[in-house]
């Protein structure tokens, strides 16, 4: 099993590689969101960012994402406000809130596909914004 660095290090203490490895590849943060103007509740739609490969749930230009997509979430331990836009399953948000990462996380299973097998990810549930203007609400951000 992987060294469980997240149990002995804070987010601020992690190396760049450790930080990156916390991402489970769910791609939920790459889906467009709706905010209820009255309640403030936020919902994920099934419309994906134009740079998301919806088959693999990977960004096709990760290195240039900030320049190409202004709404792309650039996570930083110095900007905890941005964690608000992450799903409740996301390791960054869970660790920031003092929780552990879930059993299906690739860092636990050693299998990058375990996030898909667990039904957590957007794989098979979304369509690129380049291919449709119609959307459905996938789930509430919690």
Report in angstroms how near the CB of residue 61 gets to ligand SF4 at its nearest. 7
Instruction: Closer to ligand SF4 by CB, 47 or 90: give it.
Output: 90
Report in angstroms how near the CB of residue 90 gets to ligand SF4 at its nearest. 3
- Alpha carbon distance 126, 141 (integer Å): 16
- 47: tokens are 């419309």
Instruction: Closer to ligand SF4 by CB, 9 or 104: give it.
Output: 104
- Alpha carbon distance 41, 125 (integer Å): 21
Report in angstroms how near the CB of residue 29 gets to ligand SF4 at its nearest. 3
Q: Are 46 and 31 contacting, i.e. CB atoms less than 8 angstroms apart?
A: yes
- In the complex, which residues of this chain contact ligand SF4 (CB under 6 A)? 23-30, 49, 51-52, 59, 65, 69, 72, 86-87, 90-92
Residue 87 bridge partners (DSSP): none
Q: What are phi and psi of 53, to 5 degrees?
A: -80, 105
Instruction: Closer to ligand SF4 by CB, 9 or 102: give it.
Output: 102
């Amino acid at each position: 099993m992987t060294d469980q660095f997240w149990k002995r290090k804070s987010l601020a203490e992690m190396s760049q590689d450790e930080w990156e490895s916390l991402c489970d590849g769910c791609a939920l943060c790459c889906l467009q969101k709706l905010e209820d103007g009255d309640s403030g509740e936020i919902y994920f739609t099934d419309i994906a960012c134009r740079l998301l490969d919806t088959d693999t749930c990977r960004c096709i230009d990760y290195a240039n994402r900030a320049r190409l997509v202004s709404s792309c979430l650039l996570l930083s331990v110095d900007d905890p406000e941005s964690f608000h836009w992450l799903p409740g399953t996301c390791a960054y948000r869970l660790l920031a809130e003092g929780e552990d990462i879930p059993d299906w996380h690739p860092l636990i299973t050693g299998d990058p596909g375990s996030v898909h097998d667990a039904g957590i990810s957007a794989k098979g549930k979304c369509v690129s914004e380049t291919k449709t203007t119609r959307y459905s609400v996938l789930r509430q951000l919690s």
